[in-house]
Amino acid sequence: MKEAFISGYTDATFILAPLAMKLVEDGVPVKIVYLGHRDGTALMVHKDSKIFRIEDLRGRRIAVPNRYANQRFLIYKVLKERGMKLEDLDLVEMPPPDMPAALYARAVDGITSGEPFMGQTELDGYGRVLYYTKDVWPEFISCVLAVRQDVIDKHRGKVQDLVNGIAKSGVWLDQHMNNRMQAAQFVAKGYYNQNPRLLEHVLSKPPDRVKYTNLNVRRKDFEEIQQIGIESGILLKRLDFLEYADPSFVPPTATIEGFTFEDAASKAAASEKGLIR
């Protein structure tokens, strides 16, 4: 996906925040214009494991999506707060879709990535949550919308429409659980190719497991990510916020109204399961 983005095959992409910052560090002209979501990550251990606290991760093998994933930054942060280091763990890089099977087979002691793969281990009966991001790094940022600078320059209106669409969808999703249950039906089939039950689970248990509002790009959040990136040796240079971010599409003071949307088929499917009240 990174190569498709750099080569110009895609105009914009949802990408891990530190990876987008690393691209800018490497001289690729892209800007982070909006967030994909907040929170939405967990660290899962096997339900029978003896890991009950973050300190119990010492010496354990934990899978992260890759070195530029904010999930790795999150582990660095929680370890540091407890006087531990990344070297105290055996971190391995693994594509998130492979993580549930690796945990089930006990090839690793813990897995951490964005949903819905963490929730899948709960639904299948062998995963237990060690932490949700909302509990250890509230308002956690994982995926961001990055856009090539030439696209912003030539087609600012289209980028604005895209950002507005994401913002309004997010407000709609967070307005009512009924909307989330409706979205679980069509997103599972049309975009994720997953069982809707899995998305119903991660969008509702607990309701603040992942959030889709408050997605504007804030300097404070990214400077914190950059600081951890530099401390942990992943990012090499301290860039100015405006070198890798363009917060002008949704300023902090903007008021966003949600879409008025209803998909009859999805609503009917969710109603049949008793998910819509």
Size of the site for another protein (CB under 8 A): 39
Task: State yes or no: residue 9 binds another protein (CB under 8 A).
Answer: yes
Q: Can residue 20 be called a binding residue for another protein (CB under 8 A)?
A: no
Q: Is 163 helix (H, G, I), strand (E, B) or coil?
A: helix
Candidates 24-32, 109-117, 176-184, 249-257 — which segment interacts with another protein by CB under 8 A? 109-117
In the bound state with another protein, the residue whose beta carbon lies nearer, of 12 and 23, is 12
- How far is CA 265 from each of CA 177, 202, 238, 271, 277, rounded to the nearest angstrom? 17, 21, 49, 10, 16
- Min separation Cβ 236 and another protein, Å: 25
Do residues 12 and 31 make contact, with C-beta atoms less than 8 angstroms apart?
no
Question: Which range in 45-53, 124-132, 137-145, 240-248 contacts another protein by CB under 8 A?
Answer: 137-145
Q: Binding of another protein at residue 140 (CB under 8 A)?
A: no
Residues 27-56 that bind another protein (CB under 8 A): 36-37, 40-41
- Minimum distance between the CB of residue 3 and another protein, rounded to whole angstroms? 10
Identify the H or E element spanning 43.
strand 41-46
Distance, in Å, from the CA atom of 28 to the CA atom of 13, rounded to the nearest integer, reads 14
- Of the two residues 193 and 253, which places its CB atom closer to another protein in the complex? 193
CB of 241 to another protein, least distance (A): 23
Instruction: For the segment 169-208, give every residue that binds another protein (CB under 8 A).
Output: 191-194, 202
Per-residue H/E/C for 87-151: HHCEEEECCHHHHHHHHHCCCCCEEEEECCHHHHHHHCCCEEEEEEHHHHCCCCECEEEEEEHHH
Torsion of CA 47, 232, 218, 210, to 10 degrees: -10
Nearer to another protein, 84 or 123 (CB): 123
d(CA 179, CA 25) in angstroms, rounded, equals 39
Q: Which is nearer to another protein, 9 or 261 (CB)?
A: 9
Q: Which of 210, 201, 208 is nearest to 181 (CA)?
A: 201
Under 8 Å between Cβ of 46 and 106: yes
Q: How far apart are CA 264 and CA 165, in angstroms?
A: 20
Q: Does 159 bind another protein (CB under 8 A)?
A: yes
Q: Is 203 or 235 the residue whose CB approaches another protein more closely?
A: 203
Task: Tell which one of 61, 155, 168, 189 touches another protein (CB under 8 A).
Answer: 155
Which spans of this chain sit near another protein (rule: CB under 8 A)?
1, 4-5, 7-15, 36-37, 40-41, 96, 113-117, 142-143, 145, 148, 150-151, 154-155, 158-159, 162, 191-194, 202, 210
